[in-house]
Structures are given as C-alpha cells and as structure tokens.
Amino acid sequence: MTLKIGIIIGSIATESINRKLAGAIQQLDVDDVEFFEIPIKDLPLYSWDHDADYPAEGKALKAAIEGADGILIVTPEYNRSIPGALKNAIDWASRPWGTNSFNEKVVAVIGTSPGAIGTAAGQQHLKSILAFLNTIQLGQPEGYIQFTPDLLDEHGAFANEGTAKFVTSILQALAALIYKVQD
C-alpha cells in the first residue's frame, strides 16, 4: 500500500527555504510513500462568519487533509512561533467546531532556518497547537535543520548524504506511525 502524505509548507513565500526543504524531501526515495502539497497560499483570513458557507479554498484544504494518510508540516519560525499563514490554515482546517480535519491525523513537523537551532522554538509552539487538535504526533526523531548554502545541490536535492539519511529516517518513522495507527 502506498501512503499518501500531504505536505503543508508554513511559508507562502515563493523562494522560502522551507519550500526548498519540502522540494528536497519530495526527491527522497522513501518506500511506499507518495507526497503531495496541500497549498495554503490562497486561503482568506479565517473568520467564523464563513462557517455556514465555507469558501472553495477552505473546502479544498479540509478535503486534502482528510484524504491524506498523514501530514508533514514543513515550517519556518517567525518570532519564536509559526507563520500567520500556517496558523490561518490550521484554523480553517479545524473549523467549524466539530469538523476538525486534523482530528486523529498522524502529523510530523520539520523545518529549516539559517540559525543553529533550526526551527526548534516554532516547532514546539506548533506541536502544542496540534496537540489541542487531537493529532497523533511523531515525537522522535525531531527535524530541526540548519539551512546552509551547501544544504541542497543545484537540483534542489540534499547535497549531504548524512542529512538525506537523517531526513529519510524522519519520513520512515512517520510512515511507521501511520501504519501502526491504521492497524
């Protein structure tokens, strides 16, 4: 069985280093895993005024999350937290009350930053939000990646074999958790 893992990229910037990280992840060879992006860029700002008549972008987001076997969130860290666009997408996906698309969904988080601790503080904040949404989170290994000029090659793949193996181990752990939950 091929697992379908949706990737939510927390940054909406075209040249985001986290978008580049997501691209490198999708080039990795992980047995029986197929990745697809769940876009968040075109979502309007969430307001409960939309709950009775969700816009197409909100419906598409919810359907993509619900249709995925698991979710990988690739996020930057903004001011020791998550980007507003990512929080907005989470709000859309978890509303209206009682229709939380993240409920019991297997989720892993990874991110990159130029700083030595990667996106550790932002990820911890995100994991708190995901816990409230009743997700099943991958606890280990954690993916705090320092973005350096030589992280990716000219094709956008991981240039360092050790980094590729480490990120692959996260994806394999995510797949294993999905299989465990599905049993």
Write down the domain spans for the chain.
3-39+62-82+101-182
Q: Which amino acid is at 54?
A: Y
pLDDT band at 24 (very low <50, low <70, confident <90, very high): very high
Confidence class for position 173, pLDDT limits 50, 70, 90: very high
Model confidence at 10, pLDDT cuts 50, 70, 90, reads: very high
Two structure tokens written together for 15: 């040249």
As a whole-number percent, the residues of the chain with pLDDT over 90 amount to 95
What is the pTM (predicted TM-score) of this model?
0.96
Please tell me the least confidently modeled range out of 33-47, 66-80, 111-125: 111-125
> Which amino acid would we find at residue 75?
T
155: which residues sit within 8 A by CB, 6+ positions away?
27
* Span 124-151, pLDDT tens digits: 999 999 999 999 999 999 999 999 999 9
87 has pLDDT over 90: yes
**Is the preceding peptide bond at 96 cis, omega within 30 degrees of 0?**
yes
Question: In this structure, are residues 25 and 74 in contact, taking their beta carbons and an 8 Å threshold?
Answer: yes
Burial of 159 per CB tally in 10 Å (0-12, 13-18, 19+): middle
Name the superfamily (CATH) of residues 3-39+62-82+101-182.
Answer: Flavodoxin domain (3.40.50.360)
Q: Record the tokens describing residue 61, joined without a space.
A: 């987001």
